[in-house]
Amino acid sequence: MGDPRHPASHNALPKDLAAQASELFGRETIVLWCEELLAGRADADDPAWPDIAWLGGTIGWADYWGRVWGARGLLHVGPPSHPAVVLDALSDVSWRVREMSLKVVRRHGLDDPDGIIDRLVDDPVERVRVQAWTTLGWHPDAYDGPHPGTGSMDITDREGSRP
């Protein structure tokens, strides 16, 4: 049997990896780890936590990816124990973190008492704007085109997709 600290298959879907990690380490541990990653209090290579591969991540990528992987983990194993971590991440400097955090808010029905999502419909990055509209209940597939003011559905990745 392989080392339980590392996934047997790095090719598995992130949702399957997160589910397996929850079974192995306990859901509460994985949720806390994901919250720590998303909040920037843990790094992708932090030895106090499981291998980042359990969230579909890889060591050596830009720092914001740890926060993205934390949000993606919460998407699959949440809801978060501390929703404020997710709401705070809606203001992250990385659009990828904002976008994934919006998905977590929508999936788990998190309340947004301060109206942060309403402000994200004007985000400078189109993918964040579209995700904000979707989180608020507008579904692009139900219409003939993008929501007025969001422009084309195509996006230029300003942060780069790989390290």
pLDDT at 10: 65
Our measurement of the distance from residue 124's CA atom to the centroid of its chain's CA atoms, rounded to an integer in Å, reads 18
Confidence category of residue 6, pLDDT binned at 50, 70, 90: low
Kindly state the tokens that stand for 11. Answer: 């090719």
Q: How far apart are CA 108 and CA 123, in angstroms?
A: 22
Query: Using omega within 30 degrees of 0 as the cis cutoff, is the peptide bond preceding 47 cis?
Result: no
Q: What is the residue-averaged pLDDT of the chain?
A: 86
Rounded Cα distance, 78 and 136, in Å = 20
Beta strands in 2-140 (DSSP E): none
Tokens of 142: 């139900």
pTM (2 decimals)? 0.82
> How do the domains of the chain map onto residue ranges?
14-142
pLDDT tens, position by position, 124-159: 999 999 999 999 998 656 555 555 554 544 444 455
- Tens-place pLDDT, residues 98-128: 999 999 999 999 999 999 999 999 999 999 9
The mean pLDDT value for 72-84 works out to: 97
